[in-house]
Amino acid sequence: MSDPTVPDPTVPEPTGSVGFDELYQLNVNGETRDVRDAWVGESLLYVLRERLGLMGSKGACEQGECGSCSVMVDGELVCSCLVMAASAIDQPIVTIEGVAPIGSPSDVQQAFVDAGAVQCGFCTPGLIMATHALLERSAEPSEFEIREELSGNVCRCTGYGRIIEAVQRVSVSRRADAESGIAS
Amino acid sequence: MSILSGVRRHDGRLGDSITRPDGTAKVQGSFMFSGDLEAEHCLWGATLRSPHPHARIISIDLSAAWKISGVEAIITAEDVPGQLTYGLISQDQPVFASEVVRYVGEPIAAVAADHPETCRRALQAIVVVYEVLEPLTDPERALDGSHPPIHPDGNLIRHQRIVSGDITATGDVVVEGTYVIGMQDQAFLGLEAALAMPGPGGAGVDLYVATQWLHEDQKQIAACLGLAPEQVRLTLGGVGGAFGAREDISLQVHTCLLALRTGRPVRIQYSREESFLGHVHRHPATIWMRHHATADGHIVKIEARMVFDGGAYASTSSAVLINGVTHTQGPYKCANALVDGYAVRTNNLPCGAMRGFGVVQACFAHEGQMDRLAAACGLDPVEIRLRNAMETGDKLITGQPILNVAPVARCIRETAALPLPDEPVGGHDHDPMRLPGGAGRTADRRHIRRGIGFAVSIKNLMYSEGFDDYATARCRLADGVATLKFATAEVGQGFITIAGQIARSVLGVDDVLLDPIDTDVGSAGSTSASRQTWMSGGAVNAVCMKVRGLMFDSLAAIYGVDASTLSIEGRDIVDATGVFRITVVDATAGLSFDETVEFRHAPTEDLDENGQGNCHTAFAFVAHRAVVDVDPELGLVKVIQVATAQDVGRALNPLSVIGQIEGGIAQGLGLAVMEEIIMSNGRVRNPSFTDYLLPTFLDMPDVVISLIEEPDPIAPLGAKGVGEPPTVSSTPAIVAAIRDAIGKHIDRVPVRPIDIIG
């Protein structure tokens, strides 16, 4: 047995309340949104969810490992848990809520439902964002490319098989739509 | 706030692969998980946890924390008005530690404040003085008496012996091994989260929480709050996966206490690190087995000793242990056995339920033994399993007969017949990304060796040992619309999908509404033990049958037909002659039927001191074949394919069944080659997704599936639970494939590079 633990002297003295005094604007899903009375240390994920009420982006690891919080910032797929909200000022942000109106899912969203790619659904919004980004870059990805490109998004329920199926369905149907468009 | 409630459902009868009723909301981000729930004037809660695995608490000083602006409540053990401890089987776990802490992460205090950052600062300002004690971290030392008891009732949670047949019997061939299973985390993505709201006028509390078993939570919370159960009303918050980790209490009592103390709504959401500390895990175990067999490979006797590390508190350890020892033989005939199993307390993280629940550990050992036996007898791994395959009517070493459909040999044969991967050794296209290790640590193609491994398992379904296991369902049928009410936790597995399918099939309706999942109806039991399709499915089926009977009776009274001749045909009710026909919508116009049913499975028994008794309810079987590429120089593994034939009874929704199989295999793969909570002297070294590795898209192989559909006459819908079996024997199949590739016994999971190289 050792002596009683001494309190850690490196812990700073409490300095009163968190400074809630920042005011800035974010451009989210095509709208300018005021962020008021914010603490500058808040992540984009926190501000989207807790200050702007956009609960579709999920937090599961806080370190950019799982992709559940994926959003587009200035055209790039990012983990919103790793981006400070105040650093995203003046950059267009697209979240899962901006992908399609409620009740009118995008082709990717509908394919996830139809293919059985959703179980608990917690990883799903991030995967929808990542899949849209993937298919923008590469319209007809190989299975291996899908695996590689989506490997930053962790799903614990599905084992990924039905998600790959969903992505492939979208790729095939977009190609069919494009070809029929050319034909007509 | 929006909780999953009466949303219009799609078409679909039993056997259809219809999609999830909550699917659209989930893909659009509008589905409300428990961590998404808000309320006016809501506070954040947070938990102070022990940094020590074993220490005496000398003092707790809250004064500095109280000075922080925005802090509304700080509570410790002194503020618990009711029972000071909780637990699923024995109530040995403190709501807050007051005298002693027994694991790193044990709750000591909780705060409520205006912002998560305020909470963090308040926790940091709480001064706890500890007298650090030596932790007990070796389960063997918990047994041998060389460490003082860490709990008033000792370090042994349970010992169970099984004595079967002639324990002096011997065989021509004897093989033995000692198998080690690491601590696996359920790692659901939706972190623990809850919202508690004080009831109006101080009348109890409403809790919205992601859980597996609302009524068990309600019972335990109410006891700790000193309230009657009906004063604690629970509603299921959207659940982001569970896998066993939500069966125990985590933040439920703390959230309610803070809400009642402040008179305001309180949310708590764990961080990932906190989640690793704040829920129970899969038990690490060490299992020694010795198999005796005839020269031609028939098992004569099995001896085994199992030690399960339960960690600091009991949770479900005693039931996990029973699952382990009673599944010692696997899905094989065996008359003679001597087994001793121990579940012990240590100062490691508490362990409890995780998908497979004790059977995962036993299976890893018995399948390693079957491969040893095959080698000793000069038999193929598939052949030795076929020679010993259990059939309906065979007895377990507990004396319990298998009454279920038991297509073990068929599972084995169909798995073995599934096509092998066309991918060449080292992968297609000479792409280095496809080699073991992928982009990070590229293996040398010339060194890659391929291996194939086989494993088979038996898994009990539902609860055991005399537990009064039941599920409740209510059905209202009016104007052609059925409304179902149950407290069955939908955790992602898809019960809400098949509930609608059952109602449509039985009642001939198209429209099925689901009421909120809450404690306003009787218990459904836990979403665990692969039991909800059987139990809550059985309850929904039974209540719909009852309502259908009332509907037929009313038609008989109105139209003068014989109710006993009526049946459902599509959307119509017809009599045996086919002359009388009416749609269900017309038949129920202006009428309303409302019934509630409790469904029970046949009772089970306790085991006696020799481990004899019909302690389990039912069983399911599965076989797995794994193909791996291994780089023996770097110790890297890539799983190329997993093939499986699974005994599902009847696939009520084949798409959902496939989802369970693929997802379960992913978790089995994780335990085989990636996932382990690494403990060092009672401290967790890797409580993050950076350091605790989960299978990604690149780690998961192709899965080839054959569903064995032999409807089980004992099951209410012919369907067996399908959630756990995929996780049970996929792990040993992958390890067997690694052994096959490198020609070396590896008897621990997860398999690490050092196990391959060393």
Domains B23-32+470-600 and B285-464+606-757 share a fold: yes
Q: Torsions phi, psi of B131, nearest 5?
A: -105, 110
What is the average per-residue pLDDT within B725-741?
Answer: 98
Give the SS3 label for residue B652. coil
Per residue in B135-171, pLDDT (tens digit) is 999 999 999 989 999 999 999 999 999 999 999 999 9
Using alpha carbons, list the distances in angstroms from residue A26 to A70, A80, A129, B361: 17, 13, 19, 51
What is the average per-residue pLDDT within B424-447?
Answer: 83
pLDDT reported for residue B11 = 64
A1, pLDDT greater than 60: no
B321, pLDDT greater than 60: yes
The domain defined by B285-464+606-757 folds into Aldehyde Oxidoreductase; domain 4 (3.30.365)
| Gap between the Cα atoms of A62 and B360, Å rounded | 30
B203, pLDDT greater than 90: no
pLDDT reported for residue B716 = 96
Q: Is A147 close to B698, i.e. CB distance below 8 A?
A: yes
Q: How far is A184 from chain B, CA to nearest CA, in Å?
A: 32
Residue of chain A with shortest Cα separation from B64 = A14
**The CATH number, out of the four listed (3.40.50.720, 3.30.365.10, 1.10.1660.10, 1.10.3720.10), of the domain defined by the range B23-32+470-600:** 3.30.365.10
**Set of chain B residues whose Cβ sits within 8 Å of the Cβ of A100:** 28
Per residue in B211-234, pLDDT (tens digit) is 999 999 999 999 999 999 999 999
Q: Is A154 close to B492, i.e. CB distance below 8 A?
A: no
A15, pLDDT greater than 80: no
Instruction: Give Cβ neighbours of residue B514 (< 8 Å, ≥ 6 apart).
Output: B4, B5, B6, B7, B9, B21, B483, B484, B485, B496, B499, B500
Element (H, E) at B123: helix B116-125
The beta-carbon neighbor of B188 closest among A150, A156, A163 is: A156
Per residue in A129-140, pLDDT (tens digit) is 999 999 999 999
Residue of chain A with shortest Cα separation from B494 = A119
B9, pLDDT greater than 60: no
**Would you tell me which residues 109-148 of chain A have a C-beta closer than 8 angstroms to some C-beta of chain B?**
109-110, 112-114, 116, 118-125, 128, 144, 146-148
Q: What is the DSSP letter of B465?
A: T
B574, pLDDT greater than 50: yes
| Gap between the Cα atoms of A56 and A71, Å rounded | 10
| Mean pLDDT, chain A, whole residue set | 91
Q: Is the ipTM of this complex over 0.90?
A: yes
How many C-beta atoms lie closer than 10 Å to residue A130's C-beta? 22
Per residue in A43-101, pLDDT (tens digit) is 999 999 999 999 999 999 999 999 999 999 999 999 999 999 999 999 999 999 999 99
Q: In chain A, pLDDT over 90 holds for what percent of residues?
A: 84
Please state whether the peptide bond connecting residue B750 to the residue before it is cis, i.e. omega within 30 degrees of 0: yes
> Are B737 and B451 spatial neighbours (Cβ–Cβ below 8 Å)?
yes
Bigger pLDDT: A123 vs B426: A123
Among the listed residues B564, B551, B662, B500, the one whose alpha carbon sits nearest the alpha carbon of residue B14: B500
Q: Torsions phi, psi of B23, nearest 5?
A: -65, -45
User: How many cross-chain Cβ pairs, A to B, lie less than 8 Å apart?
Assistant: 224
Element (H, E) at B159: strand B156-164
Q: Does A40 touch chain B (CB under 8 A)?
A: no
* Confidence grade of residue A183 (pLDDT, cut at 50, 70, 90): low
Region for B395 from its dihedrals, namely left if φ exceeds 0, alpha if ψ lies in -120 to 50, beta otherwise: beta
B531, pLDDT greater than 50: yes
* Confidence grade of residue B2 (pLDDT, cut at 50, 70, 90): very low
pLDDT reported for residue A12 = 46
* Confidence grade of residue A19 (pLDDT, cut at 50, 70, 90): confident
Domain boundaries, chain B: 23-32+470-600, 35-133+192-239+246-269, 285-464+606-757
pLDDT reported for residue B635 = 95
> Are B426 and B629 spatial neighbours (Cβ–Cβ below 8 Å)?
yes
| Gap between the Cα atoms of B367 and B330, Å rounded | 8
Given CATH 3.40.50.300, say whether it is the number of domain B35-133+192-239+246-269: no
What is the average per-residue pLDDT within B616-637?
Answer: 97
**Mind spelling out the 3-state secondary structure of B204-234?**
CEEEEECCCEHHHHHHHHHHHHCCCHHHEEE
Q: Is B115 close to A162, i.e. CB distance below 8 A?
A: no
Q: Is B133 close to A3, i.e. CB distance below 8 A?
A: no
Q: In chain B, pLDDT over 90 holds for what percent of residues?
A: 94
| Mean pLDDT, chain B, whole residue set | 96
**Set of chain A residues whose Cβ sits within 8 Å of the Cβ of B666:** 156, 158-160
**Set of chain A residues whose Cβ sits within 8 Å of the Cβ of B239:** 120
A7, pLDDT greater than 60: no
pLDDT reported for residue A17 = 55
Bigger pLDDT: A21 vs B661: B661
Per residue in B453-510, pLDDT (tens digit) is 999 999 999 999 999 999 999 999 999 999 999 999 999 999 999 999 999 999 999 9
Element (H, E) at B323: helix B317-326
pLDDT reported for residue B432 = 83
Bigger pLDDT: B341 vs B428: B341
How many C-beta atoms lie closer than 10 Å to residue A11's C-beta? 12
Q: For each of the domains in chain A, give its residue range(s) and CATH number, in order of start.
A: 22-97 (3.10.20.30), 107-178 (1.10.150.120)
pLDDT reported for residue B4 = 35
pLDDT reported for residue A4 = 44
A182, pLDDT greater than 80: no
Instruction: Give Cβ neighbours of residue B437 (< 8 Å, ≥ 6 apart).
Output: B443, B631, B634, B636, B638
pTM over 0.90: yes
Using alpha carbons, list the distances in angstroms from residue B448 to B631, B642, B648, B700, B741: 5, 18, 36, 19, 9
Q: Is A5 close to B118, i.e. CB distance below 8 A?
A: no
**Set of chain A residues whose Cβ sits within 8 Å of the Cβ of B65:** 14
Count Cα neighbours of A183 within 13 Å in the Cβ-side half-sphere.
Answer: 6
